[in-house]
Structure 1
Amino acid sequence: MNIIGIISSPRKNGNTAALVREAMKGAAAEGVTTQEIFLTDYNIHFCTGCSACLSAGICPLQDDFEQLKQRLYKADGVILGSPTYAASPNAIMKNFIERMGMFERFTSAGFGGKYVVGMSTAGSMGAKKVANDLTELVKGSVIRRGYVSGTLGVSVKGGTVNDIPNALTQAHALGKRLAQDIRSKKSYAWQNLFGRMMNRMFIKPTFVNIAKTQKDGRLRAVYQTLQQQGVC
């Protein structure tokens, strides 16, 4: 099993990084292989909205995003960690999520079937909201659902997360839970149940129909991916 921690903080030894690393220690204690991806180490351009990924399957921008995407695809679980800026995930994380793009919305190729944890730290308020926001792409998966093992938002109130032992304990426990969920294939049957019902009855059939009607054109790569998944 493989879990990756994706950290969007600009500070390699900041509060968010410390929280994610503690969660990865918890996962490692369960015998899981862990990898850290520090987004500021990579060259990731802004999405231009060209939608070329829908037909080609890859982004035409010449940067490091595709290699990161492939690492995400191979993971069994993901920890997303972002500091809280203006009551939202920071721009670095938003950009990464945007680059997953409509291809992810149409195919669930990256987060579908995966277990995810959202984590955030804030100087004052908003960290819990942001930690939850980080899991929205998973909860909104159309073709194949993902699973949220949990979220953790911590207000450091001008200090550091290392000054809050309970926060580190919770992070460690959440990492362990993530690993255990992957191993046991926990179903979270009640998670986002209404949204999943609406998706199954209306949204997913619509997406699949659109992919079929444009399989030789704008949505060629989407259709091919859905075929590989046994959806089309």
Structure 2
Amino acid sequence: MRIVLADDSVLLREGLQLLLTEAGHEVVASVGDGPSFVTEVLEHRPDLAIVDVRMPPSHTDEGLRAAVEVRTGWPEARVMVLSQYVEVSYADDLLASGPVDQGGTGYLLKDRVSDVDEFLAAVQTVADGGTVLDPLVVRQLMGRRHDPLAALTPREREVLALMAEGRSNTAIAEELTVTLGAIEKHTQRIFAKLGLLPDDDAAHRRVLAVVRFLRG
């Protein structure tokens, strides 16, 4: 896939570019500040844009604001944000920047990049239109969300949280040590309780379920 990459750390930026290139992807632009990120993404229209949250000049949320600006100019953009720290409000802002059923959003801690296979799988999921959130962010969101999750059982909430991390039904079944059939039943009950119609596309319902979970 074609990727635009932004991080003010030259070392990390070059490391990510090397990792992505060796995985068969093409980094069409690599920049170190938010405005350049916006310019390159809107010019190249890549399959995925990856951006660090904290960049010059204030090193607070320039990258996040750049991601939101990209989404304003191109709502269909697939964007993954990398952060050094857990900031749930950043995940909220990023999700709010796109259509409610869009997907194509990722928020990961930089530590996750060290697990190359997991990181590359997350990159592919977001590029394919899925939603991937760092497990630590998911746990914090679960601690503060109530509706529309009140009707879900503890197991259904657990399954939905793993869905929010971008895991497939097979991966969820392995994580929870249950059968794939059991997870499929849980997901169908989750869809029903969240009011997602069975005649909708399965992948579409999955994205909607995760977004409703995150937006409460």
Which structure shows the bigger proportion of residues in helix conformation? 2
Range class of TM-score, shorter chain: 0.3 to 0.5
* Higher relative contact order (Cα pairs below 8 Å, separated by 6+ residues): 1
TM-score, normalised relative to structure 2: 0.45
